[in-house]
Amino acid sequence: MKRIAIVGGGFAGFEAALQLDDALRGRQNVELVLVSDQPHFTYTPLLPDVATGAVSMRSVTIRIASALTNPSSRFRRDRVERFDLEARTVYGEREALTCDYLVIALGGEPDFKGLPGLEGRAMTLHTVHDAMRIKGRLLSAFRRARAGRLTSRQELAEALTFVIAGGGQTGVELAAELASGVQESLLPLVTPEIAEVFRVVLVEAEDDLLPAHSPALRQRAMEVLKRLGVDVRLNTRVSGATDRQVSLADEVPITSENLIWAAGRRAPTWLRDAGVPLTANGTIPIRDTMEVEGASRVFAAGSCAELVHRTTPIPHSVQVSSHQGGLIADNIGHDLVGSAQQTFDYQPLSELVTLGRLDAAARVGPVSVSGVLAQGLYRAAHMAQAPTFIKKLAILTDWTEKTLRGRDLGRLMLQMPDPPPSDAP
CA distance linking residue 332 with residue 334, whole number of Å? 5
At the fourth CATH level, which superfamily is domain 2-37+78-108+267-337?
FAD/NAD(P)-binding domain (3.50.50.60)
Name the 3-class secondary structure at 224: helix
What's the pTM?
A: 0.93
Strand-strand pairing, 80-84 and 40-42: unpaired
Q: Pick one of 3.50.50.100, 1.10.260.40, 3.40.50.12160, 3.65.10.10 as the CATH number of 128-265+350-415.
A: 3.50.50.100
Same CATH topology for 2-37+78-108+267-337 and 128-265+350-415: the answer is yes
- 296 contacts: CB under 8 Å, gap ≥ 6: none
β strands within 169-248, DSSP E: 199-203, 231-233, 238-241, 245-248
Per-residue pLDDT of the chain (425 residues; tens, 9 = 90+): 999 999 999 999 999 999 999 999 988 899 999 999 999 999 999 999 999 999 999 999 999 999 999 999 999 999 999 999 999 999 999 999 999 999 999 999 999 999 999 999 999 999 999 999 999 999 999 999 999 999 899 999 999 999 999 999 999 999 999 999 999 999 999 999 999 999 999 999 999 999 889 999 999 999 999 999 999 999 999 999 999 999 999 889 999 999 999 998 999 999 999 999 999 999 999 999 999 999 999 999 999 999 998 877 787 889 899 999 999 999 999 999 999 999 998 877 789 999 998 899 999 888 899 999 999 999 999 999 998 899 999 999 999 988 888 888 888 887 766 655 554 44
Domain ranges of the chain: 2-37+78-108+267-337, 128-265+350-415
Q: What is the pLDDT of residue 416?
A: 66
Q: Which of 170, 174, 197, 173 lies closest to 186 in space, CA to CA?
A: 197
Q: Is the dihedral of CA 384, 130, 268, 207 positive or negative?
A: positive
Q: What is the pLDDT of residue 421?
A: 56
Helix/strand number for the chain, H first, E second: 12, 24
- Concatenate the DSSP letters of all residues of 91-155 into one string: EESS-EEE-SEEEE----EE--TT-TTTTTTSB--SSHHHHHHHHHHHHHHHHHHHTT---SHHH
Strand-strand pairing, 30-36 and 73-77: parallel
Q: What is the signed CA dihedral for 295, 298, 301, 303, rounded to 10 degrees?
A: -60
Name the 3-class secondary structure at 269: helix
Q: Which of 342, 348, 347 lies closest to 288 in space, CA to CA?
A: 342
Q: What is the pLDDT of residue 137?
A: 95
What type of residue is 165? Answer: A
CA distance linking residue 283 with residue 155, whole number of Å? 42
CA distance linking residue 170 with residue 360, whole number of Å? 14
Query: Is-contact 16 46, C-beta < 8 A?
Result: no
Name the 3-class secondary structure at 237: coil
Query: Is-contact 173 262, C-beta < 8 A?
Result: no
Q: What is the pLDDT of residue 420?
A: 59
Chain-centre distance of CA 152, in angstroms? 35
Q: What is the pLDDT of residue 407?
A: 86
Fill in the DSSP letter of residue 70.
Answer: S
Q: What is the pLDDT of residue 323?
A: 94
Q: Which of 347, 336, 275, 332 lies closest to 301 in space, CA to CA?
A: 332
Fill in the DSSP letter of residue 283.
Answer: P
- 71 contacts: CB under 8 Å, gap ≥ 6: none
Query: Is-contact 125 51, C-beta < 8 A?
Result: yes
Q: What is the pLDDT of residue 418?
A: 62
Q: What is the pLDDT of residue 424?
A: 46
Strand-strand pairing, 73-77 and 80-84: unpaired
Query: Is-contact 208 218, C-beta < 8 A?
Result: yes
Instruction: Write down how long the chain is.
Output: 425
Query: Is-contact 203 230, C-beta < 8 A?
Result: no
Q: What is the signed CA dihedral for 263, 361, 374, 410, rounded to 10 degrees?
A: 50
